[in-house]
Amino acid sequence: MPGAWVGLALLGALVAPVLLRSPSHQNLLVLTAINVILVASLDMLIGLSGLVSLGHAAFWGIGAYTSALLVMRAGVPFLVALPAAGLAAAAAGLVIGYPSLRLRGHYFVLVTFIFGIIVTLLLTSWVELTRGPMGLPGIPFATLPWVGGTEVVLNTFQDKVRYYYLVLVVALLTLWVRSRIMGSRMGRALVAVREDEDLGQTLGVDTHRYKMGVFVLSTAQAGLAGSLYAHYSTFLAPETFDYVASFDLFVMNLVGGAGTPLGPVVGPVLLTAVRDALRSTHPVLGAVLFGVFLILSIQFLPRGVVGVWDHLRGRRRW
């Protein structure tokens, strides 16, 4: 692993809010860090295990709505709602993963895609709970209990820096878990699943168990990202978590470099920044150029931006 690059990226992430002081830039930083959590967790499925999920945003949405509703309707503190969001998404992952991970290839992709559509439909039609297409406004900001008895509000519309660091910590933990798994016995088993699942079984690898494990872990992390998003944006709408969002995460994963150490950082940073730059300069032309950029990168960079770099340096992916 290119240690110097990891250090540089970490340093950049730490000083970014000091250098970028405008609220709109800091907003991009928080959203990018949330996307890093989502893409890093998705990459454990796609890059490491070869399990292409096109429903990752649905688990993100389950976490977001769980956390928002727990805080708003049940008065649960943010610090409890955050892990609860992870658990709710993981429970959904367990229910969806158990049958669908026995399917191979396209069938698994289809099940995750359809699951994403079902979740969007549920969020839209269960109006009593989610307010449906009107969206869920007025979600409280994240707060931390303080020793003196008063609560500390982590973020406001004006001040995003503290919240950015909270999201960054979760993002770093997600990346750390991912790299630990990649170097482990479980990681080896999942690479075997990616390369030749039948052969892995022949060698005595319990492939279904490991696929379940990585899927539940990945969906739990998406749920955490959901909670972090809900108490940041303070407004949720079903279409934020629809199949287009899932596809976006998939594209960030591919463009950054699936299965590469820094791919899940490079993809979100690049796409969030590029898209914003294009959008603010020329919205229509920007959207077209963005599409062209995506097609070109998928056509010519099968392992993403990081993959090109590794290729030039003669490295392979994990």
Residues of the shown chain interacting with another protein in the complex, contacts defined by CB under 8 A: 185, 188-189, 191-192, 195-196, 198-206, 316-317
**Which helix (H) or strand (E) covers residue 152, if one does?**
strand 151-153
- Measuring CA to CA, which residue among 118, 92, 112 is closest to residue 246? 112
Alpha carbon distance 121, 63 (integer Å): 16
Measured over the CA atoms of residue 186, residue 192, residue 198 and residue 200, the dihedral's sign is negative
Pick 199 or 244: Cβ nearer another protein: 199
Least separation in angstroms between CB 303 and another protein:
11
**Which helix (H) or strand (E) covers residue 123, if one does?**
helix 106-125
Pick 123 or 205: Cβ nearer another protein: 205
Pick 197 or 248: Cβ nearer another protein: 197
Least separation in angstroms between CB 172 and another protein:
27
The residues near 305 (Cβ < 8 Å, ≥ 6 apart) are 255, 256, 257, 263, 266, 267, 270, 297
- Measuring CA to CA, which residue among 205, 251, 175, 279 is closest to residue 194? 205
What's the DSSP call for residue 149?
S
For 46, other C-beta atoms within 10 Å of its C-beta total: 23
Pick 56 or 303: Cβ nearer another protein: 303
Pick 155 or 207: Cβ nearer another protein: 207
3-state secondary structure of 59: helix
Least separation in angstroms between CB 5 and another protein:
22
Least separation in angstroms between CB 179 and another protein:
17
Least separation in angstroms between CB 205 and another protein:
5
Pick 86 or 200: Cβ nearer another protein: 200
For 241, other C-beta atoms within 10 Å of its C-beta total: 28
Least separation in angstroms between CB 153 and another protein:
48
